[in-house]
Amino acid sequence: MPTWNRAHLLGRAIESVRTQSFKDWELIITDDGSTDNTPQVVEAWKKRALPAGRQARIVYVRSEINQGPSRNYNQGFRLAKGEYVAVHDDDDLWCDPRKLEKQVTFLDKNREYVACGGGVIVRDKSGRELYRFLKPETDGQIRAHMLFSNPMANSTTVFRKTVGEAVGWYDDSIRYNSDRDFWLKLGLRGKLYNFPEYFGYYTMSGENISMVKMREHFKIALMVMKRYRKDYPHYLPALIFNWVQYLYSFVPSFIERPIHYLAARLKRLLVK
C-alpha cells in the first residue's frame, strides 16, 4: 500500500485488509515522504488487535523525500515476502471480504496465470456510488483491450511475486501510469484473468493523481502502448483512442471538471 499525505484515508484501507477471510497476509505500507500524521496513524493501527489464526503484520517504510508513485510501489514490492503480491492504493478499499481468498485459490489452481483482478465500484468523497464496471474477464478478452486502456483495475489485483521480479517491477523512469506498463509486461509472461465480481471501491475525489496529472497520464499512455504495438492486437484503433484522450487533457479545467465523471463513465462503456 503506497501512500502520500493520505493519513485521513489510511484507516479504512487498512481495515479492508484486516477483515479479509484470508488471514496469512503481511501489509507493507510505503510512505513517500508524507508531511501529515501518517506515521502516527500507521503506528496506531500496528498496535490494534490482529486477525485470528496466524498473525499478520503491518510493516511501515518511510522515505524522507518524495520519490514518486513508481519508485514508492517498487519499494514495497521488493520487501514482500509472500508468494503473491496484492496491490492496494491508500485512497481505495476492498469491498469483498473474500477477495484475497478467491484470488489466491485461483492462482494456486491455475499456474499458467500470472495475475488476476476484478471489478470496481466508483464512489464520490461522500461514499455515494457513481457507477461500477467490470474489466474484460478472459485472457483473450483482456488482450483484445490491452492497448486501449489499463487492462487491470490496479487496487483489485494479485500477481505472482516471481513474475513481477522477473519483469523488473514498475518502470521507475515513468513517474505516473507505470502500472499500465507493468500489466502489459506481465501479459507477455503468462495469462491474466479478471473475476466478474466487484472487489474494490475507487474514490473519485478530484484529488486522484490520474485526474490531477491527467495530461502526463495520457501522454505516458501513448508512449507505453507504442512499446507493445507488436505484442498486442488493434494497435491503430487503440492509437486513435489514446490520442483522443490526450487531446481531451487540453480542455480547459472549467469545462473539463463538470463533465469528468461523465467522460470517465463513457470511457468505461467503450473500452472498460
Over residues 128-165, the pLDDT tens digits come to 898 899 999 999 999 999 999 898 999 999 999 999 99
Over residues 164-200, the pLDDT tens digits come to 999 999 998 988 889 999 999 999 999 999 999 999 9
Q: How far apart are CA 126 and CA 213, in angstroms?
A: 23
Residue 248 has pLDDT above 80, yes or no: no
- 205-209, 237-241, 250-254: range with highest mean pLDDT: 237-241
pLDDT of residue 75: 94
Q: How far apart are CA 267 and CA 245, in angstroms?
A: 9
Instruction: Note every long-range contact of 237-244, with CB atoms under 8 Å and residues 24 or more positions apart, other chains counting.
Output: 237/148, 238/147, 238/148, 239/147, 241/148, 241/270, 241/271, 242/147, 242/148, 242/218
Mean pLDDT across 230-241: 94
Over residues 89-111, the pLDDT tens digits come to 998 999 999 999 999 999 999 99
Residue 51 has pLDDT above 60, yes or no: no
Residue 116 has pLDDT above 80, yes or no: yes
Query: Under a CB-based contact definition with an 8 Å cutoff, are residues 63 and 74 in contact?
Result: no
- Ranking 53-62, 217-226, 256-265 by mean pLDDT, the lowest is 256-265
HSE value, Cβ hemisphere, 13 Å, CA-based, for 256: 15
Q: Which domains does the chain have, with CATH numbers?
A: 2-271 (3.90.550.10)
Mean pLDDT across 206-220: 69
Residue 268's pLDDT band, with cuts at 50, 70 and 90, is low
Q: In Å, how far are 5, 43, 167, 189 from 81, measured between CA atoms? A: 26, 21, 17, 21
HSE value, Cβ hemisphere, 13 Å, CA-based, for 183: 29
Residue 255 has pLDDT above 60, yes or no: no
The C-alpha cell at 212 is 490531477
pLDDT of residue 124: 86
Cβ neighbors of 79 (< 8 A, separation 6 or more) are 28, 30, 59, 61
Residue type at position 78: R
pLDDT of residue 257: 59
Residue 57's pLDDT band, with cuts at 50, 70 and 90, is confident
Cβ neighbors of 268 (< 8 A, separation 6 or more) are 131, 133
The full 3-state SS of 81-97, as one line of letters, equals CCCEEECCCCCCEECCC
Query: Under a CB-based contact definition with an 8 Å cutoff, are residues 118 and 34 in contact?
Result: no
> To the nearest whole number, what is the mean pLDDT of the chain?
88
Over residues 9-36, the pLDDT tens digits come to 999 999 999 999 999 999 999 999 999 9
Element (H, E) at 235: helix 235-248
